[in-house]
Amino acid sequence: MAYSSMAQVNEVQVEPKGVYKEIDMESQLQMIQILSSQNSDSVNQGIKDITSTPNKYSPPVVFVLAHVLSQKNKMDEASYWYYFAQLRGRIDAKLCTDKTAGQAISVLVSQIGPPINEYSFSDIERLKGTFDDVIAFLRTNEADYDRRWIALHGMGAFTGGNEAIILPREEWNTVKKETIDTYYAQFIEHVYNQREKYEAVENEK
């Protein structure tokens, strides 16, 4: 599976086998291509489509959206969608039975995150407000794409088979709540640690 965009989101290509063949990513890849095009009208329409119906799009698409918005210098919007994609991606990784698949989120974060994080952490209170908005949305909305997408980035995708690649649906809400709660606690701790470091440097001036 490969994602290709101006953000250079690239993965090793592999021909899906077994149950992995059932994962249809065509519409997601098409949207990434739209966002990566040189046609500004198409890009703007893609942005509109994703932001108006975000539950339809998998985290890789939303990560690329965040990148496009940052390139347009729409940093507040880029920040929101970046953290949105990161947290929903973490939920998907927790739902996947192949724990090696979570590397996909780490790759996307490392490729797209630096300029957005730099902007976001320049104003801690603004960042907390953005993240609170992301949390509120994800707690009350459900994804409407094939959440097995992330399995295509794990080691299991190379061997194939018909094993269960995602946890039973009855466990999804619990996993989502636990993932959000844990990440939010870690996020808040990190944010305020960063603020204390910044204030300490300012006080030394």
The first and second tokens of residue 20, run together, are 């992995």
CB 150, CB 104: distance < 8 Å? yes
| Predicted TM-score (pTM) above 0.85 | yes
Asked, for residue 3, whether it belongs to a domain, the answer is no
Phi, psi of 96 (to 5 degrees): -80, 135
Asked, for residue 128, whether it belongs to a domain, the answer is yes
Asked, for residue 133, whether it belongs to a domain, the answer is yes
The range of the structural domain enclosing residue 114 comes to 18-204
| Model confidence pLDDT, tens digit, residues 118-173 | 999 889 889 999 999 999 999 999 999 999 999 999 888 887 766 789 999 999 99
Asked, for residue 107, whether it belongs to a domain, the answer is yes
Query: What domain count does the chain have?
Result: 1
- Alpha-carbon span 76 to 73, nearest angstrom: 9
Given a cut of 70, the residues of the chain with pLDDT beneath it are 1-14, 161-162, 194-205
pLDDT of 3 reads 43
pLDDT of 161 reads 65
pLDDT of 147 reads 96
pLDDT of 32 reads 97
CA distances, 1 to each of 39, 45, 48, 135 (Å): 25, 25, 26, 29
Asked, for residue 2, whether it belongs to a domain, the answer is no
- Alpha-carbon span 29 to 58, nearest angstrom: 10
pLDDT of 8 reads 42
The torsion region of residue 39 among left (phi > 0), alpha (psi -120 to 50) and beta comes to beta
Asked, for residue 11, whether it belongs to a domain, the answer is no
What is the secondary structure of 100-112 as a DSSP string? GGGHHHHHHHHHH
Angle at which helices 40-52 and 59-71 pack, to 10 degrees? 130
| CB neighbourhood size of 110 (10 A) | 9
pLDDT of 104 reads 94
